[in-house]
Structure 1
Protein backbone atom coordinates (compact mmCIF):
# COMPACT_ATOMS: atom_id res chain seq x y z
CA UNK A 1 0.00 0.00 0.00
CA UNK A 2 2.82 2.36 0.89
CA UNK A 3 4.72 1.55 -2.32
CA UNK A 4 1.63 2.21 -4.47
CA UNK A 5 1.05 5.57 -2.74
CA UNK A 6 4.66 6.61 -3.32
CA UNK A 7 4.41 5.59 -6.98
CA UNK A 8 1.29 7.68 -7.45
CA UNK A 9 3.00 10.65 -5.80
CA UNK A 10 5.97 10.30 -8.14
CA UNK A 11 3.69 10.20 -11.18
CA UNK A 12 1.89 13.33 -10.02
CA UNK A 13 5.10 15.29 -9.63
CA UNK A 14 6.36 17.59 -6.91
CA UNK A 15 3.37 19.95 -7.18
CA UNK A 16 0.84 17.19 -6.63
CA UNK A 17 -0.68 17.79 -10.09
CA UNK A 18 -0.81 14.95 -12.65
CA UNK A 19 2.30 14.77 -14.81
CA UNK A 20 1.92 16.26 -18.28
CA UNK A 21 1.55 13.74 -21.08
CA UNK A 22 4.44 13.97 -23.59
CA UNK A 23 3.40 16.20 -26.49
CA UNK A 24 0.51 17.71 -24.54
CA UNK A 25 0.25 21.50 -24.57
CA UNK A 26 1.39 23.42 -21.52
CA UNK A 27 -1.40 24.90 -19.40
CA UNK A 28 -0.46 28.42 -20.50
CA UNK A 29 -0.94 27.43 -24.14
CA UNK A 30 -4.29 25.82 -23.33
CA UNK A 31 -5.41 29.04 -21.62
CA UNK A 32 -4.32 31.08 -24.64
CA UNK A 33 -6.15 28.81 -27.09
CA UNK A 34 -9.31 28.74 -24.98
CA UNK A 35 -9.28 32.53 -24.61
CA UNK A 36 -8.90 33.07 -28.37
CA UNK A 37 -11.75 30.64 -29.02
CA UNK A 38 -14.06 32.33 -26.50
CA UNK A 39 -13.16 35.88 -27.56
CA UNK A 40 -14.01 34.92 -31.15
CA UNK A 41 -17.31 33.25 -30.18
CA UNK A 42 -18.59 35.48 -27.35
CA UNK A 43 -16.57 38.66 -27.66
CA UNK A 44 -13.77 39.96 -25.48
CA UNK A 45 -15.94 41.93 -23.06
CA UNK A 46 -18.44 39.09 -22.59
CA UNK A 47 -15.76 36.53 -21.76
CA UNK A 48 -14.57 36.24 -18.15
CA UNK A 49 -11.55 34.58 -16.60
CA UNK A 50 -14.02 32.11 -15.09
CA UNK A 51 -15.24 31.21 -18.60
CA UNK A 52 -11.67 30.63 -19.74
CA UNK A 53 -10.83 28.50 -16.70
CA UNK A 54 -13.95 26.40 -17.23
CA UNK A 55 -13.08 25.83 -20.89
CA UNK A 56 -9.60 24.60 -19.93
CA UNK A 57 -10.89 22.59 -16.98
CA UNK A 58 -8.86 24.37 -14.32
CA UNK A 59 -9.49 26.68 -11.39
CA UNK A 60 -9.56 30.46 -11.89
CA UNK A 61 -6.51 30.76 -9.66
CA UNK A 62 -4.59 28.56 -12.11
CA UNK A 63 -5.29 31.05 -14.91
CA UNK A 64 -3.85 33.88 -12.80
CA UNK A 65 -0.65 31.90 -12.27
CA UNK A 66 0.02 32.31 -15.99
CA UNK A 67 -1.76 35.58 -16.86
CA UNK A 68 -2.27 38.38 -14.36
CA UNK A 69 -5.49 39.53 -16.04
CA UNK A 70 -7.65 39.23 -19.12
CA UNK A 71 -5.76 42.23 -20.52
CA UNK A 72 -2.52 40.24 -20.20
CA UNK A 73 -4.06 37.54 -22.40
CA UNK A 74 -4.95 40.22 -24.95
CA UNK A 75 -1.33 41.43 -24.86
CA UNK A 76 -0.23 37.85 -25.56
CA UNK A 77 -2.56 37.77 -28.57
CA UNK A 78 -1.01 41.02 -29.84
CA UNK A 79 2.47 39.51 -29.42
CA UNK A 80 1.44 36.35 -31.25
CA UNK A 81 -0.05 38.36 -34.12
CA UNK A 82 3.16 40.31 -34.56
CA UNK A 83 5.32 37.19 -34.75
CA UNK A 84 3.02 35.79 -37.43
CA UNK A 85 2.09 38.84 -39.50
CA UNK A 86 5.61 40.21 -39.90
CA UNK A 87 7.23 36.83 -40.54
CA UNK A 88 8.00 35.87 -44.16
CA UNK A 89 5.07 34.13 -45.84
CA UNK A 90 5.61 30.55 -46.99
CA UNK A 91 6.10 30.22 -50.74
CA UNK A 92 3.02 29.15 -52.66
CA UNK A 93 3.20 25.68 -54.23
CA UNK A 94 4.66 25.69 -57.74
CA UNK A 95 6.14 29.17 -57.18
CA UNK A 96 9.56 27.85 -58.17
CA UNK A 97 8.19 26.93 -61.62
CA UNK A 98 7.64 30.58 -62.51
CA UNK A 99 10.59 32.13 -64.37
CA UNK A 100 10.36 35.35 -62.37
CA UNK A 101 8.20 36.17 -59.39
CA UNK A 102 6.77 39.60 -58.63
CA UNK A 103 6.61 41.40 -55.31
CA UNK A 104 2.81 41.17 -55.50
CA UNK A 105 2.93 37.40 -55.81
CA UNK A 106 5.53 37.17 -53.05
CA UNK A 107 3.30 39.18 -50.70
CA UNK A 108 -0.05 37.59 -51.56
CA UNK A 109 0.26 34.07 -52.94
CA UNK A 110 1.32 32.51 -49.63
CA UNK A 111 -1.63 33.88 -47.65
CA UNK A 112 -3.99 30.89 -48.07
CA UNK A 113 -1.26 28.42 -47.07
CA UNK A 114 -0.33 30.63 -44.12
CA UNK A 115 -3.94 30.56 -42.92
CA UNK A 116 -4.23 26.80 -43.44
CA UNK A 117 -1.10 26.30 -41.35
CA UNK A 118 -2.28 28.76 -38.64
CA UNK A 119 -6.02 28.20 -38.12
CA UNK A 120 -5.88 30.17 -34.87
CA UNK A 121 -5.18 33.28 -36.98
CA UNK A 122 -8.69 32.99 -38.46
CA UNK A 123 -10.11 33.38 -34.95
CA UNK A 124 -7.70 36.20 -34.09
CA UNK A 125 -8.60 38.07 -37.30
CA UNK A 126 -12.26 37.73 -36.35
CA UNK A 127 -11.53 39.13 -32.88
CA UNK A 128 -9.59 42.10 -34.22
CA UNK A 129 -12.12 43.11 -36.87
CA UNK A 130 -15.20 42.73 -34.68
CA UNK A 131 -13.83 44.05 -31.37
CA UNK A 132 -12.06 47.16 -32.66
CA UNK A 133 -15.35 49.02 -32.97
CA UNK A 134 -15.91 49.10 -29.21
CA UNK A 135 -12.54 48.25 -27.66
CA UNK A 136 -10.09 51.16 -27.63
CA UNK A 137 -7.02 49.00 -26.96
CA UNK A 138 -7.71 46.72 -29.91
CA UNK A 139 -8.58 49.63 -32.21
CA UNK A 140 -5.45 51.60 -31.26
CA UNK A 141 -3.21 48.57 -31.62
CA UNK A 142 -4.72 47.65 -34.98
CA UNK A 143 -4.35 51.21 -36.30
CA UNK A 144 -0.74 51.54 -35.14
CA UNK A 145 0.62 48.11 -36.06
CA UNK A 146 -1.42 47.04 -39.06
CA UNK A 147 -2.48 50.25 -40.74
CA UNK A 148 0.22 52.85 -40.02
CA UNK A 149 3.14 50.40 -39.70
CA UNK A 150 1.75 48.17 -42.43
CA UNK A 151 1.43 51.02 -44.92
CA UNK A 152 4.90 52.38 -44.10
CA UNK A 153 6.52 48.96 -44.45
CA UNK A 154 4.74 48.22 -47.73
CA UNK A 155 5.54 51.68 -49.10
CA UNK A 156 9.25 51.11 -48.43
CA UNK A 157 9.14 47.73 -50.16
CA UNK A 158 7.42 49.16 -53.24
CA UNK A 159 9.86 52.09 -53.40
CA UNK A 160 12.76 49.64 -53.52
CA UNK A 161 10.98 47.75 -56.31
CA UNK A 162 10.56 50.95 -58.35
CA UNK A 163 14.20 51.91 -57.84
CA UNK A 164 15.28 48.42 -58.91
CA UNK A 165 13.16 48.68 -62.07
CA UNK A 166 10.96 45.73 -61.09
CA UNK A 167 7.69 47.71 -61.14
CA UNK A 168 6.87 50.85 -63.08
CA UNK A 169 7.32 54.29 -61.46
CA UNK A 170 4.20 55.28 -59.55
CA UNK A 171 2.98 56.92 -56.37
CA UNK A 172 4.24 54.22 -54.02
CA UNK A 173 2.38 55.64 -51.04
CA UNK A 174 -0.92 55.41 -52.89
CA UNK A 175 -0.01 51.94 -54.16
CA UNK A 176 0.79 50.74 -50.63
CA UNK A 177 -2.55 52.04 -49.37
CA UNK A 178 -4.44 50.35 -52.21
CA UNK A 179 -2.54 47.09 -51.84
CA UNK A 180 -3.08 46.89 -48.08
CA UNK A 181 -6.73 47.87 -48.45
CA UNK A 182 -7.14 44.85 -50.69
CA UNK A 183 -5.36 42.61 -48.17
CA UNK A 184 -7.64 43.81 -45.39
CA UNK A 185 -10.70 43.28 -47.59
CA UNK A 186 -9.46 39.78 -48.44
CA UNK A 187 -9.00 38.87 -44.78
CA UNK A 188 -12.38 40.34 -43.84
CA UNK A 189 -14.28 38.62 -46.63
CA UNK A 190 -12.52 35.27 -46.35
CA UNK A 191 -12.18 34.83 -42.60
CA UNK A 192 -14.41 37.35 -40.82
CA UNK A 193 -17.57 38.00 -42.83
CA UNK A 194 -17.94 34.27 -43.49
CA UNK A 195 -16.66 33.25 -40.06
CA UNK A 196 -18.06 29.93 -38.89
CA UNK A 197 -18.97 28.77 -42.40
CA UNK A 198 -17.00 26.13 -44.30
CA UNK A 199 -14.07 27.82 -46.04
CA UNK A 200 -13.84 27.25 -49.79
CA UNK A 201 -10.07 27.49 -49.99
CA UNK A 202 -10.00 26.69 -53.71
CA UNK A 203 -12.26 29.67 -54.47
CA UNK A 204 -10.17 31.89 -52.22
CA UNK A 205 -6.99 30.88 -54.04
CA UNK A 206 -8.58 31.52 -57.46
CA UNK A 207 -9.76 34.98 -56.44
CA UNK A 208 -6.36 35.79 -54.98
CA UNK A 209 -4.59 34.66 -58.14
CA UNK A 210 -6.79 36.97 -60.25
CA UNK A 211 -5.87 39.92 -58.02
CA UNK A 212 -2.16 39.09 -58.20
CA UNK A 213 -2.31 39.01 -61.99
CA UNK A 214 -4.12 42.36 -62.04
CA UNK A 215 -1.39 44.03 -59.95
CA UNK A 216 1.27 42.40 -62.12
CA UNK A 217 -0.35 43.54 -65.38
CA UNK A 218 -0.88 47.12 -64.23
CA UNK A 219 2.62 47.57 -62.87
CA UNK A 220 4.89 45.78 -65.31
CA UNK A 221 8.17 47.65 -65.85
CA UNK A 222 8.24 49.77 -69.02
CA UNK A 223 10.96 47.59 -70.56
CA UNK A 224 8.95 44.36 -70.28
Structure 2
Protein backbone atom coordinates (compact mmCIF):
# COMPACT_ATOMS: atom_id res chain seq x y z
CA UNK A 1 0.00 0.00 0.00
CA UNK A 2 2.80 2.41 0.96
CA UNK A 3 4.68 1.80 -2.28
CA UNK A 4 1.57 2.37 -4.34
CA UNK A 5 0.82 5.59 -2.50
CA UNK A 6 4.37 6.83 -3.02
CA UNK A 7 4.15 6.03 -6.70
CA UNK A 8 0.90 7.98 -7.03
CA UNK A 9 2.48 10.97 -5.28
CA UNK A 10 5.40 10.97 -7.67
CA UNK A 11 3.08 10.82 -10.65
CA UNK A 12 1.07 13.75 -9.32
CA UNK A 13 4.23 15.78 -8.68
CA UNK A 14 5.44 15.00 -12.18
CA UNK A 15 2.17 16.16 -13.71
CA UNK A 16 2.20 19.32 -11.61
CA UNK A 17 5.75 20.17 -12.67
CA UNK A 18 4.95 19.54 -16.31
CA UNK A 19 1.92 21.82 -16.10
CA UNK A 20 3.94 24.45 -14.22
CA UNK A 21 6.55 24.49 -16.99
CA UNK A 22 3.88 25.24 -19.59
CA UNK A 23 2.21 27.93 -17.48
CA UNK A 24 5.46 29.68 -16.62
CA UNK A 25 6.73 29.43 -20.19
CA UNK A 26 3.56 31.05 -21.53
CA UNK A 27 3.95 33.95 -19.11
CA UNK A 28 7.61 34.45 -19.96
CA UNK A 29 7.01 34.16 -23.71
CA UNK A 30 4.28 36.81 -23.46
CA UNK A 31 6.54 39.13 -21.47
CA UNK A 32 9.84 38.73 -23.34
CA UNK A 33 8.96 37.09 -26.63
CA UNK A 34 9.78 33.58 -27.72
CA UNK A 35 13.38 34.33 -28.65
CA UNK A 36 13.94 36.27 -25.44
CA UNK A 37 13.36 33.22 -23.24
CA UNK A 38 15.66 30.23 -22.81
CA UNK A 39 15.15 26.84 -21.24
CA UNK A 40 17.29 27.95 -18.31
CA UNK A 41 14.98 30.95 -17.75
CA UNK A 42 11.93 28.71 -17.67
CA UNK A 43 13.56 26.20 -15.33
CA UNK A 44 14.67 28.96 -12.96
CA UNK A 45 11.18 30.49 -12.87
CA UNK A 46 9.63 27.09 -12.16
CA UNK A 47 12.22 26.41 -9.46
CA UNK A 48 13.88 23.38 -11.00
CA UNK A 49 17.19 22.60 -12.67
CA UNK A 50 17.38 22.63 -16.50
CA UNK A 51 18.22 18.92 -16.38
CA UNK A 52 14.92 18.31 -14.59
CA UNK A 53 13.02 20.30 -17.20
CA UNK A 54 14.46 18.13 -19.96
CA UNK A 55 12.87 15.11 -18.27
CA UNK A 56 9.51 16.59 -19.26
CA UNK A 57 10.25 18.39 -22.55
CA UNK A 58 12.92 17.95 -25.21
CA UNK A 59 13.46 21.70 -25.51
CA UNK A 60 11.90 25.12 -25.92
CA UNK A 61 10.02 24.24 -29.10
CA UNK A 62 8.43 21.25 -27.37
CA UNK A 63 7.34 23.53 -24.54
CA UNK A 64 5.87 26.01 -27.01
CA UNK A 65 4.01 23.17 -28.74
CA UNK A 66 2.60 22.18 -25.35
CA UNK A 67 1.45 25.77 -24.80
CA UNK A 68 -0.45 25.65 -28.10
CA UNK A 69 -1.92 22.26 -27.23
CA UNK A 70 -3.05 23.59 -23.86
CA UNK A 71 -4.72 26.61 -25.44
CA UNK A 72 -6.51 24.43 -28.00
CA UNK A 73 -7.84 22.23 -25.21
CA UNK A 74 -8.91 25.24 -23.14
CA UNK A 75 -10.77 26.69 -26.12
CA UNK A 76 -12.56 23.38 -26.78
CA UNK A 77 -13.52 23.18 -23.10
CA UNK A 78 -14.97 26.70 -23.26
CA UNK A 79 -17.03 25.85 -26.35
CA UNK A 80 -18.52 22.88 -24.50
CA UNK A 81 -19.06 24.88 -21.31
CA UNK A 82 -20.99 27.56 -23.23
CA UNK A 83 -22.98 24.83 -25.00
CA UNK A 84 -22.15 26.35 -28.36
CA UNK A 85 -23.43 24.37 -31.35
CA UNK A 86 -19.82 24.09 -32.57
CA UNK A 87 -19.13 21.67 -29.74
CA UNK A 88 -22.41 19.80 -30.02
CA UNK A 89 -22.36 18.61 -33.64
CA UNK A 90 -19.83 16.45 -35.54
CA UNK A 91 -16.97 18.24 -37.27
CA UNK A 92 -17.90 19.20 -40.82
CA UNK A 93 -21.65 18.87 -40.24
CA UNK A 94 -22.33 22.44 -41.39
CA UNK A 95 -26.06 21.92 -41.93
CA UNK A 96 -26.49 20.72 -38.34
CA UNK A 97 -24.37 23.62 -37.12
CA UNK A 98 -26.54 26.13 -38.97
CA UNK A 99 -29.67 24.52 -37.54
CA UNK A 100 -28.13 24.64 -34.07
CA UNK A 101 -27.48 28.37 -34.24
CA UNK A 102 -30.78 29.19 -35.94
CA UNK A 103 -32.79 27.47 -33.21
CA UNK A 104 -31.02 28.99 -30.21
CA UNK A 105 -33.25 31.04 -27.90
CA UNK A 106 -33.24 34.85 -28.26
CA UNK A 107 -30.11 36.44 -26.86
CA UNK A 108 -28.12 33.19 -26.73
CA UNK A 109 -25.80 33.99 -29.62
CA UNK A 110 -25.08 37.43 -28.19
CA UNK A 111 -24.31 35.90 -24.77
CA UNK A 112 -22.00 33.30 -26.30
CA UNK A 113 -20.20 35.96 -28.32
CA UNK A 114 -19.64 38.12 -25.24
CA UNK A 115 -18.40 35.13 -23.22
CA UNK A 116 -15.94 34.20 -25.97
CA UNK A 117 -14.83 37.83 -26.26
CA UNK A 118 -14.24 38.04 -22.52
CA UNK A 119 -12.23 34.83 -22.64
CA UNK A 120 -9.78 36.23 -25.20
CA UNK A 121 -9.55 39.63 -23.47
CA UNK A 122 -9.75 38.76 -19.76
CA UNK A 123 -8.62 35.17 -19.17
CA UNK A 124 -4.98 35.36 -18.01
CA UNK A 125 -3.72 32.50 -20.15
CA UNK A 126 -5.72 33.42 -23.24
CA UNK A 127 -4.56 37.04 -23.08
CA UNK A 128 -0.92 35.99 -22.64
CA UNK A 129 -1.19 33.61 -25.58
CA UNK A 130 -2.81 36.22 -27.82
CA UNK A 131 -0.23 38.85 -26.88
CA UNK A 132 2.56 36.36 -27.55
CA UNK A 133 1.25 35.66 -31.06
CA UNK A 134 0.74 39.36 -31.81
CA UNK A 135 4.23 40.27 -30.61
CA UNK A 136 6.08 37.43 -32.33
CA UNK A 137 4.20 37.34 -35.64
CA UNK A 138 6.71 39.69 -37.29
CA UNK A 139 9.82 37.92 -35.95
CA UNK A 140 8.83 34.30 -36.46
CA UNK A 141 7.18 33.11 -39.69
CA UNK A 142 5.87 30.02 -37.87
CA UNK A 143 4.25 32.07 -35.10
CA UNK A 144 2.96 34.52 -37.70
CA UNK A 145 1.21 31.63 -39.45
CA UNK A 146 -0.19 30.49 -36.11
CA UNK A 147 -1.52 33.98 -35.35
CA UNK A 148 -3.21 34.26 -38.75
CA UNK A 149 -4.67 30.79 -38.31
CA UNK A 150 -6.14 31.59 -34.89
CA UNK A 151 -7.42 35.11 -35.52
CA UNK A 152 -7.97 35.37 -39.27
CA UNK A 153 -8.03 32.30 -41.46
CA UNK A 154 -9.87 29.76 -39.30
CA UNK A 155 -12.52 32.18 -37.95
CA UNK A 156 -13.24 33.56 -41.42
CA UNK A 157 -13.38 30.12 -43.01
CA UNK A 158 -15.65 28.83 -40.26
CA UNK A 159 -18.00 31.80 -40.39
CA UNK A 160 -18.15 31.81 -44.20
CA UNK A 161 -19.19 28.15 -44.30
CA UNK A 162 -21.75 28.70 -41.56
CA UNK A 163 -23.25 31.80 -43.19
CA UNK A 164 -23.35 30.11 -46.60
CA UNK A 165 -25.34 27.23 -45.12
CA UNK A 166 -27.65 29.59 -43.23
CA UNK A 167 -28.37 31.38 -46.51
CA UNK A 168 -28.94 28.08 -48.32
CA UNK A 169 -31.58 26.92 -45.86
CA UNK A 170 -33.25 30.32 -45.67
CA UNK A 171 -32.21 31.69 -42.28
CA UNK A 172 -30.16 34.53 -43.78
CA UNK A 173 -30.68 36.78 -46.80
CA UNK A 174 -28.60 35.94 -49.84
CA UNK A 175 -25.20 37.64 -49.84
CA UNK A 176 -21.48 36.94 -50.24
CA UNK A 177 -20.63 34.54 -47.40
CA UNK A 178 -16.95 35.45 -47.36
CA UNK A 179 -17.68 39.17 -47.11
CA UNK A 180 -20.25 38.48 -44.42
CA UNK A 181 -17.61 36.61 -42.42
CA UNK A 182 -15.22 39.56 -42.74
CA UNK A 183 -18.02 41.94 -41.79
CA UNK A 184 -18.85 39.87 -38.71
CA UNK A 185 -15.38 39.15 -37.37
CA UNK A 186 -13.42 42.34 -38.14
CA UNK A 187 -15.17 44.62 -35.61
CA UNK A 188 -14.79 41.96 -32.91
CA UNK A 189 -11.05 41.76 -33.56
CA UNK A 190 -10.89 45.56 -33.42
CA UNK A 191 -12.73 45.56 -30.09
CA UNK A 192 -10.21 43.03 -28.73
CA UNK A 193 -7.49 45.57 -29.41
CA UNK A 194 -9.60 48.25 -27.73
CA UNK A 195 -10.07 46.02 -24.69
CA UNK A 196 -6.30 45.65 -24.30
CA UNK A 197 -6.14 49.34 -23.44
CA UNK A 198 -8.83 49.24 -20.76
CA UNK A 199 -7.76 50.25 -17.28
CA UNK A 200 -10.91 49.31 -15.41
CA UNK A 201 -13.66 46.71 -15.32
CA UNK A 202 -16.17 49.42 -16.20
CA UNK A 203 -14.33 50.16 -19.45
CA UNK A 204 -14.16 46.46 -20.30
CA UNK A 205 -17.87 46.11 -19.61
CA UNK A 206 -18.65 48.94 -22.03
CA UNK A 207 -16.70 47.18 -24.77
CA UNK A 208 -18.41 43.87 -23.98
CA UNK A 209 -21.75 45.69 -24.30
CA UNK A 210 -20.62 46.90 -27.73
CA UNK A 211 -19.91 43.31 -28.73
CA UNK A 212 -23.37 42.24 -27.59
CA UNK A 213 -25.08 45.10 -29.45
CA UNK A 214 -23.02 44.52 -32.59
CA UNK A 215 -23.79 40.79 -32.77
CA UNK A 216 -27.50 41.47 -32.23
CA UNK A 217 -27.45 44.12 -34.96
CA UNK A 218 -25.60 41.82 -37.35
CA UNK A 219 -28.24 39.14 -36.88
CA UNK A 220 -31.09 41.57 -37.51
CA UNK A 221 -29.47 42.99 -40.63
CA UNK A 222 -28.94 39.62 -42.27
CA UNK A 223 -31.90 37.62 -41.01
CA UNK A 224 -34.42 36.67 -43.66
CA UNK A 225 -37.85 38.08 -42.90
CA UNK A 226 -40.67 35.65 -42.41
**Could you state the TM-score of these two structures normalised by the residue count of structure 2?**
0.74
Cα distance in 1 for partners of 2:213, 2:190 equals 15
Conserved 8 A contact 1:90-1:110: no
Give runs of aligned pairs for residues 1-224 of structure 1, distance below 5 A.
Answer: 13=6, 26-85=16-75, 88=79, 90-91=81-82, 100-101=105-106, 105=110, 108-112=113-117, 114-115=119-120, 118-190=123-195, 193-194=196-197, 197-200=199-202, 201-223=204-226
Q: Contact 1:89–1:107 at 8 Å: present in 2 too?
A: no
> How far is the alpha carbon of 1:185 from its aligned partner?
2.1
Relative to its length, the structure with more helix (as a share) is: 2
Hey, what's the Cα distance between the residues in 1 that align with 2:151 and 2:16? 30
Could you tell me whether the CA contact under 8 Å between 1:151 and 1:176 is conserved in 2?
yes
User: Residue 3 of structure 1 aligns with which residue?
Assistant: none
| Counterpart-to-counterpart distance in 2, 1:23 and 1:65 | 13
Shift in Å at residue 182 of structure 1?
2.5
Which residues of structure 2 form unaligned runs of 5+? 84-103
Deviations 1:107-157 (A, max 9, x none): 513214545884311111111111111111100222245422322111111
Q: What is the CA–CA distance in structure 2 between the aligned matches of 1:103 and 1:148, rounded to whole Å? A: 25
Larger radius of gyration: 1
- Cα shift at 1:61: 1.1
How far off is 1:187 after superposition?
A: 2.7
> How many residues align structurally?
203
- 1:100 Cα deviation after fit: 3.4
SS in 1 for 2:34: coil
1:24/1:188 CA distance change after superposition, 3 Å = farther
Residue 74 of structure 1 aligns to a residue whose secondary structure is helix
Tell me, yes or no, if the aligned pair for 2:21 and 2:42 is still in contact at 8 Å.
yes
Compute the displacement of 1:159 (Å): 1.3
Runs of 5+ unmatched residues, structure 1: 1-6, 93-98
Q: How far did 1:25 drift?
A: 6.4
Shift, 1:13, TM fit: 5.0
CA 82–21 in structure 1, closer or farther in 2 if over 3 Å, else same: closer
